[in-house]
Amino acid sequence: MLKSAGFQNFTSVPDARWNFSPGLNVIVGENGLGKSHVLRALYSIIKALSPETALNEADKSDVGGKAQIEKKLADELIGNMRPDSLGRLVKRKQGRNRAEISAFFSDKTLDTKFGFATNSRTQVDLVSSPRGHVKKTPVFFPTRELITLCPWFVSLYDSYAVPFEKSWRDTVLLLGAPSLRGPREASVREILSPIEKAMGGKVEVDASGRFFLKVHGGKMEAALVAEGLRKFAMLARLVSTGVLLEQGYLFWDEPETNLNPRLIKVLAGVIVGLSNQGIQVFIATHSVFLLREISIISSKQKFAGVRYFALSASGDDEVSRLEQGDSVEELDTLVLLDEELMQSDRFMEIDDHA
């Protein structure tokens, strides 16, 4: 489990220590304040500490030498954030020429701290080195769906220099995992059933790796399914194969995109359900509806817990500032909620003037 993280002079992210819940972590705020950057940075760190590059089981107890760790961290940050150079991720403020990121885990052997300067191209400098691998690897869902990129995207990414985030490649690869069979199949039904009900069908894959939505009247190619439902199809696929439940972390950027309120309500239940399965979930959202649904569900259920983070623009030399708490009520500045309340007031004024 990721317990906390610290950022200093990193893009538009506020200089602060973030303390996470072992269950669900919700980041809200206006555009350009660093929500997505936090998700991608944390995903990059955990991905760099994953055991998938180990040559054999014996290697999985050792994350590698200092130079190897530094290269993996740099490769993940560059691949997932797509800067021209690492130095472009340093906050552009007078007197600041170095960024530092730290990550602290429940397993202290994984604790990592590193930095890089404005003139760094592909190199980070480890301040504190991890001494082991994470036991479970992360999954990243971007704003758009990825199921229509199967199965050709991985080979394209691996063969050519294409301007796409590495996390897309990682997730498309997971979507190609074989379907789950045997005793574990029943264990995913609680999470999968509301997703399939919302889609009105089940996700199927043909021999070539293309995805379809099977409904009562037949089946539809994934490209013909509405964008929002394709995001549900991506989620359903990773749940049905058991892949998502085997991962330790889920990062999801704006999961509400292209979903109507009815589907957002289903989404909130699924997100809480995944955190109940032992997955540490991190989402960034603009949706007041999703925020409220999560609050409603968390107030009625006992689960691993939820923590809220609000980013807001500040009037001083900082790009943004951070508030965090275990409930929405603990956040003094919640811009998206304030804007919705002000819109309600303006809407009521229409009736007053009618």
Instruction: Please tell me the predicted confidence (pLDDT) of residue 340.
Output: 62
Cα–Cα dist 14/9, whole Å: 8
pLDDT in tens, the chain (354 residues): 999 999 999 999 999 999 999 999 999 988 888 899 999 999 999 999 997 644 334 444 556 789 999 999 999 999 999 999 999 999 877 666 899 999 999 999 999 999 999 999 999 999 999 998 998 889 999 999 999 999 899 999 999 999 999 999 999 999 988 776 655 566 678 888 999 999 999 999 998 989 999 988 789 999 999 988 999 999 999 988 888 888 899 999 999 999 998 999 999 999 998 998 889 999 999 888 898 899 888 887 766 689 999 988 766 555 678 999 998 888 877 655 666 666 666 667 776 655
Instruction: Please tell me the predicted confidence (pLDDT) of residue 58.
Output: 43
Cα–Cα dist 349/353, whole Å: 6
Instruction: Please tell me the predicted confidence (pLDDT) of residue 167.
Output: 96
Domains of the chain: residue spans and CATH: 2-137+248-353 (3.40.50.300), 147-246 (no CATH)
Q: In this structure, are strands 218-221 and 249-253 parallel, antiparallel, or unpaired? A: unpaired
Instruction: Please tell me the predicted confidence (pLDDT) of residue 318.
Output: 53
Instruction: Please tell me the predicted confidence (pLDDT) of residue 276.
Output: 87
pTM of the model: 0.91
Instruction: Please tell me the predicted confidence (pLDDT) of residue 30.
Output: 80
Cα–Cα dist 264/293, whole Å: 8
Cα–Cα dist 32/27, whole Å: 13
